[in-house]
Structure 1
Amino acid sequence: MRVRRMLTKTTNTTMTLLMLGVAATPALLGVSASPAVADSSPSASPSGDGGAPTEAGTSFRTATEIEQGQQATASGSTGDYLYWSFPADAGQRPTVKATVKLPDPSTRNAAETWQIDVYDGLRRRQACQYGAQTRTAARDAAFATLSCTLRTVRAWSDTWANDPLPGTYYIRLTATGLGSSDLGLPVSTEVKVDSKDIGGAAAVDGSLAKPLVPGIATSAEQSDSDSDSTTAALSSLEPDDGWASGWWSDRWVWTAIGGILAALAGIGGYALTRGSGRPSRMPPGA
């Protein structure tokens, strides 16, 4: 009878510990949700001039800066190269969408093919994971819609790889294969960049010393007069919490939860086996 009571007591203790562990899991998840939200994509608030950009650059060096979530507009001509730039941090999967309002059909002689390309801070062309990167619009079409979803930005990568890394990204929009009679026709464009936070699934063990922002590591040497050094950064936009803000990921949470559950299971197993393995102290014939 004493052994039976002991087994019943240890079983109840084990069940209580397991229930406490399960009850603690939502609380841990609630704690982890706050940093994940804080490390989301850069702010979509309007730029310093009071609104979204209304023009595009004509080269990498003159690319118009846009923040994620902003809808930038620009007017141009068929045959022009239109450039924008935006920041992307580790753990984000950017999606670039562009809409082109085509010239009046009566002024066009053939169909038009539009293409959107995305380059990183080293001007390496990044492959689209999915999306209509190239779109051919019929002669009577009024709009052409393109999209490009990049691979998830990694915090670190091998030097020989072409993985997306934190830093500035460039968008280039242009029409290809135009005849001479279709060059120079007026068009208007809309471009927007959004990101999905992938979280711990994309976390890697490593980080860059500096984000791939052109010019961020170029600084003037201090003169003998102890003047302050200057940094020649060609892009001024960055995530709200700074670069490499995605150091926190839900991998930390699930690792902690797994450790707690494993410890509780070990305690429960020990409590069960300890009671059943002890010899009875009752005298013979009792």
Structure 2
Amino acid sequence: MRITRVLSAALLAVGVAAGPAVADSSPSPSASSDSDAPTQAGTSFRTATEIDQGQQATASGSTGDYLYWSFPADAGQRPDVRATVKLPDSHAAQTWQLDVYDGLRRRQACQYGAQTRTAAQGTASVELACVMRTVRAWSEPWANDPLPGTYYIRLTVVDLTSADLGQPVSAELKVGSKDIGGAAAVDGSLAKPLVPGIAVRSESDEDSSSSTKSAVLSSIEPDDGWSSGWWTDRWVWTGIGGVLAALAGIGGYALTRGHGRPRRVPPGA
């Protein structure tokens, strides 16, 4: 009975500990409402419009323009970028493309999604999508793995007739992500996220090398800050495995130790 009570209490503790780990694997909620969502896009990496995950941004432009947005992505997240381009009433066939770059301006591959699509003549809109690879907390310097930091989105037309150049278009963009959890954990973390910055001098101290100011090109970050992969649910499952191993050892000992020394039978009995 004692072994049964111990096993029951341990299994109950395991269930309570596993609860937060299961909850962490659910998709992350929207970062903010659409009431303060941006209504314009940048025209370069330096002027990219900052958006939070969960916001639906809109922008107006002309065919041939480059539209840029930026958003933060942390370790363990798998970003999902989706864009809809509304085209003019009359136009020839044209091809649109959605590209994602990291904080080092390296183009990131999409796991799946229609990153490039061609809108047939007279089509009202075209939808694009890019589901990125899971952001890693650390990677080799030579690798092109997505790392925590700022990501840039570039939306533009890559093939159209000269007659359609400059026609007005509008775009809708939304970035979401799924928290992959401990399955994507790695042994390491970045010292700082890849958020581009630049050092500038004030005009009055132009000749003084000791007076510099730091201007960050991207000020957005996740609501709960940059985790850099210091905690994952892998810690929980490792602890659960240790508890189950200890219980298996206790149960095995209880089943094999016997019930004391056998009683000696006197001779001639």
What is the TM-score of this pair, normalised by structure 1? 0.84
Please show how residues 215-254 of structure 1 align to structure 2 within 5 Å: 215=197, 218=199, 230-244=213-227, 246-254=229-237
Please show how residues 269-284 of structure 1 align to structure 2 within 5 Å: 269-275=252-258, 278-284=260-266
Deviation of the 1:20 alpha carbon: 2.3
The yes-or-no answer on 1:97 pairing with 2:51 is no
Residue identity opposite 1:28 in structure 2: A
Partner of 2:43: 58
Equivalent pair of 1:41/1:88 in contact (CA under 8 Å): no
**SS in structure 2 of the partner of residue 210 of structure 1:** coil
Deviation of the 1:193 alpha carbon: 0.1
Q: Which runs of 5+ in 1 are unaligned?
A: 1-11
Equivalent pair of 1:71/1:190 in contact (CA under 8 Å): yes
Partner of 2:5: 16
Please show how residues 74-113 of structure 1 align to structure 2 within 5 Å: 74-105=59-90, 108=91, 110-113=92-95
C-alpha distance in structure 2 between counterparts of 1:258 and 1:228, whole Å: 54
The yes-or-no answer on 1:267 pairing with 2:250 is yes
C-alpha distance in structure 1 between counterparts of 2:69 and 2:12, whole Å: 48
1:79–1:202 Cα change, 3 Å: same
Deviation of the 1:243 alpha carbon: 1.2
Residue identity opposite 2:86 in structure 1: K
**SS in structure 1 of the partner of residue 155 of structure 2:** strand
Partner of 1:125: 107
C-alpha distance in structure 2 between counterparts of 1:19 and 1:256, whole Å: 17
Partner of 1:258: 241
1:241–1:163 Cα change, 3 Å: same
Deviation of the 1:244 alpha carbon: 2.1
Equivalent pair of 2:81/2:175 in contact (CA under 8 Å): yes
Greater helix fraction, Structure 1 or Structure 2: 1
Q: 2:147 pairs with 139, 151, 165, which one?
A: 165
Question: Percent of aligned positions with the same letter in both sequences?
Answer: 71
Residue identity opposite 1:72 in structure 2: A
After superposition, the C-alpha distances for 1:133-153 in whole angstroms (9 at most, x for unaligned) are 001011121010000000000
After superposition, the C-alpha distances for 1:77-105 in whole angstroms (9 at most, x for unaligned) are 00100000000000000000000001112
Equivalent pair of 2:50/2:70 in contact (CA under 8 Å): yes
C-alpha distance in structure 1 between counterparts of 2:182 and 2:20, whole Å: 15
1:32–1:230 Cα change, 3 Å: farther
**SS in structure 2 of the partner of residue 275 of structure 1:** coil
Root mean square deviation of aligned Cα = 2.6
C-alpha distance in structure 2 between counterparts of 1:43 and 1:215, whole Å: 27
Q: Which runs of 5+ in 2 are unaligned?
A: none
C-alpha distance in structure 2 between counterparts of 1:119 and 1:153, whole Å: 13
Equivalent pair of 1:74/1:188 in contact (CA under 8 Å): yes
**What is the number of equivalent residue pairs in this alignment?**
263
**SS in structure 1 of the partner of residue 160 of structure 2:** coil
Deviation of the 1:250 alpha carbon: 1.2
C-alpha distance in structure 2 between counterparts of 1:219 and 1:15, whole Å: 68
The yes-or-no answer on 1:178 pairing with 2:160 is yes
